[in-house]
Structure 1
């Protein structure tokens, strides 16, 4: 097949969704969970818990029969570790060495959240205690103040622990109640793991390949999302990889993107149609909002960070995708005491068909079960533009 130099938007979105594993599962059980983390390169962790947490939601959408215990197993088996990607994330252990440049930079004085010099002595004391006693949590060092939340309220021991974690001295062996349990990195890393520090070129090539493997297409800057000081070396690495033929340049509706050589193979494969996916706001597909607008024509903002009077759709809004189109979004909350999944606001953005409604009803039921809720309730439904279905008819159908 001749190398592709231009793609339609439909072809581009097909390749992106294939790479993301959203409509064709990446596997099942523990093995599938590892395959998903490895394919995506990372899975973002977030503290919001109005429904099942983001990392579990992202994996549930890609792994048949996924349960949170599958991720716990991979962490215990030292196949996945926790660190920082563009945000807190779970990453495949095989990529551990590529976390070292950031760790070394922070240890050398780059600021993550805190200034290293403010906690130097306490860091030594904490490391000595974990060395002697084994894995410990922040609460093993101090009693937290009542009513506090957020990193700006962390006491010195918690800050010192996180600094040691970011520098790579400590790693998280598990989470209990969403709180990290820390141990020495040398006791956590599996035997035989490559811990050599990559060169700048190796690191950049890793970032480029990781992004393109998971996303099919990228503008160069998307490969180093939220990483500082890398634009100039990135340009050089991209130019060299294009010259070598490991990267190709592809036109999508007048916009230039990078892709790995051989991308045309993905066009031969069928993308399953008719599937609904309810996505986490922190799903890998959605992380870069401008990219979503360009490729999918979907504008999205997580409004939990927006003052309530200015919210358009709600506090924790989940995008709804049908095939390769975004057809709506819903503000949702798990009412755990009542065992009820509450859709506070379902907003439909595309003309409804019976096929879409049938797929959405089935996926809502599966989403209830994933969140361990027994019932579904819908408070409000709204529509963009004209739609044949009334609010009552749609509600009755989805709850029927």
Structure 2
């Protein structure tokens, strides 16, 4: 990008934890045709950190759209694209299931197969607990399997299965600016909490405290016939907000009261307190990434609150860039999509075709059906109704 820095009139890079890919847009004012910018061409953005000028980050992606507007004093080009995370939305993944004689596979093996043909690497230092294996039978703890369209759904199920098998809280994953897959366990202090003080170049800090969806009473049921039962409450929350019940947690794979209690307690810990969320804007380019934890140490009202970054936007001009962080205390939350994406999601959901499959095996005890998909040949598990 060094040959065109002087003609960039606007740029925007948006990265949200709920979106597999990072999108970018740049506007070029130039009297000549920038031939290096064409659809399908790889592009890199080198951005210098305002706080540490010797540090920089590189955003990598592929150009998807090139638009040109002829004006009196030259041409204006609008260039947009996405990083390698886009392939997770445009490729499928298959992992055969079974009801008998399951296969046990290390989560790293499955992850490497999911990431094939995407250009995405596993982030430095990212590891799974040793000795953990995932089963392709729904009757086992840590079940993974099915026909995933698109691929990112396989990642969601993989990390859910791993979290269950490893006995840890739910994991969230994201793709960083260098096309590396990273993940973290929610509800944990991950160390190296970054602090934001009044001396930093913040333009605005907008925070909202929301208690409308509090749940402080939860029932959990485990065992094949839901014979294991646990009821947990948060007395302090009830004292302040009254008794607010949540949906029952039902998990037939849990076979002990202790395991069920842990699962219900983890859910209660997240939902029984108000959620803080908002945005923080900085004048300049600042190197934050999704999943990072931050504290507002000079804010008397919020200095004890630990926020998690769930969205990052870097935009503006070379002379006046702005970095905007979306933050929340609810790490299980999804950053709200815009109206167009909500409408598209409804259209996509209504347009989904039913899978045509042949029944291979029926488990009368669990009411599960093993079927072979006609379109892919994948063995998938269905629940009878």
The structure with the larger Rg is 2
* TM beyond 0.5: no
What TM-score do the two structures reach when normalised by structure 1?
A: 0.29
